[in-house]
Amino acid sequence: MAGRPRRKAAVRATQIIEISDSEDDVHITTRRGRDSSFSPPPTKSARIDAAARSLAGREVATTSTTSRKRWPTEKTNGKVSQASEKRAKKDSKTTSKSKDNNKNSATNETENVELLQQGNEDQQKDLEVAHQQDPVETVTDGQCLSSAANNKLARDSTTNTGRSSFWARRKVWRVDELLAEKENVEPCTAKNIVQLLENENTIPFICRYRRDLINHITPERLRDIKNSYTEIVELRKRAETIVTQLEKEQQIGDEVRTEILCAKSNEELEFLYAPYKPASKGSLAERAKALGLGDAADRLLFGEAPEVRLESLVDRNNADLENVEKVLQGICHIISHNISKHTGVLEELRRLQKVHRIVLKCTKSKTPGTSAATKSSTSLKNQLNSNNNAVHSKNKTDASKYETYYEFQQDVRYLKPHQVLAINRAEKQKFLTVKIVTADYVKNDIKRFTRELFMNEGLRYPLRNQVFEQAFEECYSKKLQPLLSRQLRSDLNESAKKAAIDVFAQNLKQLLLQSPLKGERILGIDPGFTNGCKLALISETANVLETGVIYPHARSSNAEEVGEQLAKLLTRHNCKIIALGNGTACRETEFWLSNLFDLGILDKNNVRYSIVSEQGASIYSCSDVARQEFPDMDMNEISAVSIARRLNDPLSEYVKIEPRHIGVGMYQHDVSEKTLNEALNEVVSECVSFVGVDINTASLSVLKHVAGLSEKKAQKIIEHRSSNGPFQTRKDLLKVKSIGEKTFVQCAGFIRIEPLSVGGKIENLLDCTWVHPESYAVAKKIISKCNLLLKDIGSTPFICKIKAYALQCDMEELADNFQIPKERVDVVLMALQRELTQDYRAEFAKRPLFKQGLTRITELSEGDVLTGAVSNITHFGAFVDIGVECNALIHISKMKNRELSVGDRVTVSIIQIDIPRKRIGVRLEDTIKETDTSFTLT
């Protein structure tokens, strides 16, 4: 329902006539119609019950009875079902009899109508008998129960949550059923996924070797499904815990128990649980109940006889009941609490959130936000003026980031994730004041629904209307409206945080899968001012050849002389590549390198440099992993080594750092650290596994991320490798302690035995391919069918013949012959068509972007066309390094509906320049296919 529901105008009903088998019912209905000044439409529960009866083929005229019950009992349900069975038997008997005797259609219709009427009369009699045998004592849903009602409730073990009995007839779902419904996947696929995850299969293993069971779902999609699976399992555990607790307290029966177990979301579960939650000790409602006002509140809310007289509840000896006003106030507190906990009211409030326009409004805070440290420091009387100036300058700079939201309002349905996260951060830093604005019709709609729910039945007298009006005003202002705001903010935050995690995961995967720069010596520079620029030069195999420190930015140093030292270092080691960290003093160092090219100190024809992200490098240099690898090296020089290695092999270096410290996300510091780490570790494991590792050379940091392995298991593998020599075959992995058959199945396809690591000879070349050991027999049969030899795997003739065979063979027939799914045959054929040393990352063709000069932002103008590389992706656009001191932004509206990823080469044109704020807006013109291009300005 997209728009606001239309409300019916109030009309005076002169008389209401309903079809009924009871004269008393007609009398009651007529009396209510005559006394009432407003005739509301049927309630939501009545409409649902009518629909359920219609679907079941049991449309029976419904009537109001003098003894109204708020929930069905087990005996009543039994009688109703017996009456239905009796009617069904008579209908079937009539049908069979008519077929046997071949009577005309008119006679059949007459007999069917007569029997149907008889069945209805029998059913009505059964219901009346059930009412007489099992009298029901009326109670409330808000736990305002008298002692007698509690005793009755304990005996019958039946309660009601305020929802229609239609929902109680729902089937209790299985995990795979709800997963299929939520994620919109086929039921058989959902069932397979649940079984695979229950058996602790990893995402990389499932996506590569069990594709036939999951209908070729991508790893990204499977991660989302796995998250939903985890949420569903937690939901079931929570529901079972609630049911166990309430059954222990004898508060619910089988109907409500089933209803709770049918809840398909945490929100729905909490709505069902709300009526049974005890009020907080010391709350206004609990105090009023303790004064003995609970029974009077129930009679007023449900219109039960006898009428309530407030004067009779006044107690002059009790300060809280000394007058009518205080008695009325206490009763309103109880009714307000009961309404706010009613499941039907909560569900309607949730529905109104989705159909009405509700606005989130931001305004600039009157007092600027400051950190806790700043607040404590400003309170000191003897603080220096310079510190005050610095603080004000910092606050002014931070405040400028949120100028967009100083006078901002938006329908909550159209808020973007980055807007929500930015508003949350600004609110936390006290720069913004945020509130949810709801229109009056939201209040009117929920009031009308509540009135229909409670006030349409029972005695009608002025006091009851007065109490309801006052109690609802209190309930809405103090409970429902704040609840509405909390729910909306919570929903917005959850969706925004999920979006932030998805963006981070996607960018991280693209960063990890960037092509390595093999066969080159690289000089890493960690730029700095006072402490100088730290240098580390590594070999083609990432071994450290030389380290040092230079000071090109010191006042007393000569920049050209320092440049000569740098040139000699590069010449001495025959190094032509420089990796420059993008941290402090990066742009100043880049200007210095550009001048060296202009002066001829560095050769433009041979030497090039690339900007490398140094996010997390300082954290890595202080870590235990770094100290174990470089026990005698200075921490500052370790960061330079890390920068150089990130260009050499991004995957192997980035896995040493906690993923959340790699700055390719969007507001990642505002997201739950546990949730973020779980998601990012899945991405790292996926990347490491798909690329594959040589088990004889892989480090602990890489090996622990292989699918199926943990840090302890990886450590055991390295210890076994150190004491027993290199692994000769994949099966040797089973000799390692703590590596069982289950772990071996998960990781075996992602580890390799490369010939160079075992002295150039390998027992089985299949151990160097993607082929999983479980498919070795299939691979050997395919090789035999092609008249090839196992020792020729990876050679050009071998690959050509396998490709030709894959094109000619019938996959269905081949799969039937091998008695395995055709997807697994396809994996084997794909693996046999690859070179032994081919890197999976080469398929992405995303190499580093090299530069030989820098353009200043002051030299740019609108309309200039430049080339650059995408450095980060967000929901609102892409950031591009175009060779100046700040990245340019391609807003999503200027991307021509193209999808970019980290590392993509693009051509952009400048549409806006803000020099004071260092912001550049560009428009995407085209993408560049070349993998190694320099910045150009035309």
Return the pLDDT at 82: 46
pLDDT band per the 50, 70, 90 thresholds, residue 218: very high
pLDDT band per the 50, 70, 90 thresholds, residue 661: confident
**239 and 149 part of one domain:** yes
Helix (H, G, I), strand (E, B) or coil at 806: helix
**182 and 215 part of one domain:** yes
Is the residue at 86 inside a domain? yes
Give the total residue count for the chain.
Answer: 938
**298 and 230 part of one domain:** no
Is the residue at 702 inside a domain? no
**464 and 345 part of one domain:** yes
pLDDT tens digit sequence for 463-509: 999 999 999 999 999 999 999 999 999 999 999 999 888 888 888 88
Strand order in the sheet with 407-411: 407-411, 359-364, 432-437
Is the residue at 451 inside a domain? yes
pTM: 0.70
Q: Which residues span the domain enclosing 415?
A: 359-380+396-437
pLDDT tens digit sequence for 700-710: 999 999 999 99
Angle at 406 between CA 402 and CA 412, to 5 degrees: 95
Return the pLDDT at 131: 40
**148 and 227 part of one domain:** yes
Return the pLDDT at 144: 38
Return the pLDDT at 852: 53
Ranges 17-26, 534-543, 872-881, most confident:
534-543
For 868, phi and psi rounded to 5 degrees? -165, -170
One DSSP character per residue, 185-215 reads --HHHHHHHHHHHHTT--HHHHHHH-HHHHT
Mean pLDDT value of segment 763-777: 91
One DSSP character per residue, 702-765 reads HHTTSTT--HHHHHHHHHHHHHH-S-SSGGGGGGSTT--HHHHHHHGGGEE--GGGGTT--S-G
- Is the four-CA dihedral 703, 708, 711, 716 of positive or negative sign? negative
Is the residue at 367 inside a domain? yes
What mean pLDDT is reported for the chain?
A: 78
- Is the four-CA dihedral 189, 195, 200, 201 of positive or negative sign? negative
Is the residue at 591 inside a domain? no
Sequence-distant (6+) residues with CB within 8 A of 147 are none
Count CA atoms closer than 13 A to 657's CA, side-chain side. 26
pLDDT tens digit sequence for 223-234: 999 999 999 999
Mean pLDDT value of segment 802-806: 91
What is the CATH number for 213?
1.10.10.650
One DSSP character per residue, 340-370 reads HT-HHHHHHHHHHHHHS--EEEEEE-SS---
Q: Any idea which of 126-130, 181-185, 396-400, 829-833 has the lowest mean pLDDT?
A: 126-130
Return the pLDDT at 844: 57
**309 and 420 part of one domain:** no
Domain finish residue from 135, 154, 186: 135
pLDDT tens digit sequence for 22-77: 444 433 333 333 333 333 455 555 555 565 555 545 433 433 333 333 333 333 34
Q: What is the DSSP letter of 672?
A: -
Domain finish residue from 278, 305, 331: 278
**165 and 250 part of one domain:** yes
How many angstroms separate the CA atoms of 383 and 372, rounded?
16
Mean pLDDT value of segment 710-732: 92
Q: Any idea which of 272-276, 501-505, 867-871 has the lowest mean pLDDT?
A: 867-871
Q: Any idea which of 323-327, 392-396, 654-658, 707-711 has the lowest mean pLDDT?
A: 392-396
Return the pLDDT at 875: 79
Domain finish residue from 135, 157, 183: 135
Exposed (0-12), middle (13-18) or buried (19+): which is 642, by Cβ within 10 Å? buried
**165 and 215 part of one domain:** yes
Angle at 781 between CA 810 and CA 805, to 5 degrees: 40
What is the dihedral angle through the alpha carbons of 342, 343, 346, 351, rounded to the nearest 10 degrees?
Answer: -140
Q: How many domains does the chain have?
A: 6
pLDDT tens digit sequence for 400-419: 788 889 999 999 999 999 89
Q: Are the C-beta atoms of 581 and 549 separated by less than 8 Å? A: no
Is the residue at 130 inside a domain? yes
For 266, phi and psi rounded to 5 degrees? -60, -35
Inform me whether the pLDDT recorded for 328 exceeds 70.
yes
Angle at 254 between CA 248 and CA 259, to 5 degrees: 100
Is the residue at 841 inside a domain? no
Count CA atoms closer than 13 A to 691's CA, side-chain side. 30
Q: Considering only CA atoms, which of 363, 372, 374, 284 is closest in space to residue 330? A: 284
Exposed (0-12), middle (13-18) or buried (19+): which is 699, by Cβ within 10 Å? middle
Any bridge partners for residue 407, and if so which? 363
How many angstroms separate the CA atoms of 499 and 854, rounded?
35
Q: Considering only CA atoms, which of 149, 185, 159, 193 is closest in space to residue 72? A: 159
**303 and 219 part of one domain:** no
Return the pLDDT at 349: 93
Is the residue at 474 inside a domain? yes
**335 and 428 part of one domain:** no
Return the pLDDT at 43: 53
Extract the tokens encoding 514. 């960037």
How many angstroms separate the CA atoms of 205 and 198, rounded?
14
Return the pLDDT at 66: 35
**162 and 245 part of one domain:** yes
Number of CB atoms found within 10 A of residue 4's CB = 14
Return the pLDDT at 448: 95
**140 and 255 part of one domain:** yes
pLDDT tens digit sequence for 82-105: 444 444 444 444 444 444 444 444
Q: Name residue 354's amino acid.
A: K
